[in-house]
Chains A and B, each alone.
Chain A
Amino acid sequence: MTSTPFITVQGLTKSYGDLLAVKGISFDVTPGEVFGILGPNGAGKTTTLEMMEGLRDITDGSVTIDSIDVASNVEKIKSIIGVQPQNSAFLDESRLGELLDAFASMYGVKADVFDLLSKVGLESRAKAYPEQLSGGQRQRFSIAVALVHQPKVLFLDEPTTGLDPQARRNLWDLVRTIRATGVTVILTTHYMEEAQVLCDRVAIMDDGNIIAIDTPKKLVHDLLARGFKPHMEVQAATLEDVFIDLTGKDLRE
């Protein structure tokens, strides 16, 4: 990666009293990259993300997005980033089109409802209510809402948690499409496979620290170079592939 960093995180720290949730982490993200933050539950992924989004006070260190300091320009930052929070919900008894319209208005823009819904494969559901959507549809709609003001950066916090394999793969396709439009994507996940297929680079977090950061390929390569041998014989396909093959790859509505 040679291009200049688009997002710079430096010595980012979050403490709750004596408890250090994030311990002075630093990393850069280049424009147009899909950057993954991996780690077990409680590693500090969401806290890191929320500090980058301006939703949580930064105890120490700094985050800069597109040369704007997050801590001192929260409102400016909010208008150039799109955020899909973990398990977020929408107002019930409001149609998808109306919600998109309202969210666009919060950024002072008008929403092209059809275009946004087409992007996430929900073009026929403008009049539906969020409570009528399946889990995967809801996540995709949530991404459509995050894209309503054409942000430069998209933050996805565990976008595929709780989704079935088809819906998950469909969401991966969606993230790739978004990436192709030049949007920088930062996502957290605890699915290694997801990180491997989706992310250009990943940071592995544990206990508030980044313990490794590189391309998935390089990380695996380094591991093998250290003399690592997999416990199991490597299979050419997984049970999930069998499942997908038998039930069909297309997303089931």
Chain B
Amino acid sequence: MLSISQELVDAIWAHARADHPDEACGVIAGPIGSDKPTRFIPMRNAAMSPTFYEFDSIDLLKIYREMDDLDEEPIVIYHSHTSTEAHPSRTDIAYASEPSAHYVLVSTREELAGANEFRSFRIVDGVVTEEPVQIR
């Protein structure tokens, strides 16, 4: 289960809508072992694409060092799908490399007409498991 504040959910949506039609991406860090998303870190999509996202490699180094200094880990790794459903794609699954993270997907596709599709998944060893989202 992902337990997350409304404020952080809103922050993810704001980022996804701002970057549409490109995929938005980012991390929410939290204290190691807490499973509590706390610190919102929107990232630049270095791929600048409506169908692919990638953190810039130097940005990635910076945030991992920062999290290390703060005894944090990535609790949520989020990104948006801009024309498909909010479910991990084969590419998402292939590149998921944080086994403890909650992979959050939102969809900004036009057909949703404002309806919110916000879903969370665990991706471990290539296996995707959807989990409930509890908004505090």
Whether A and B are associated in the same complex: the answer reads no
Q: CB within 8 Å of B: which residues of A?
A: none
Q: CB within 8 Å of A: which residues of B?
A: none
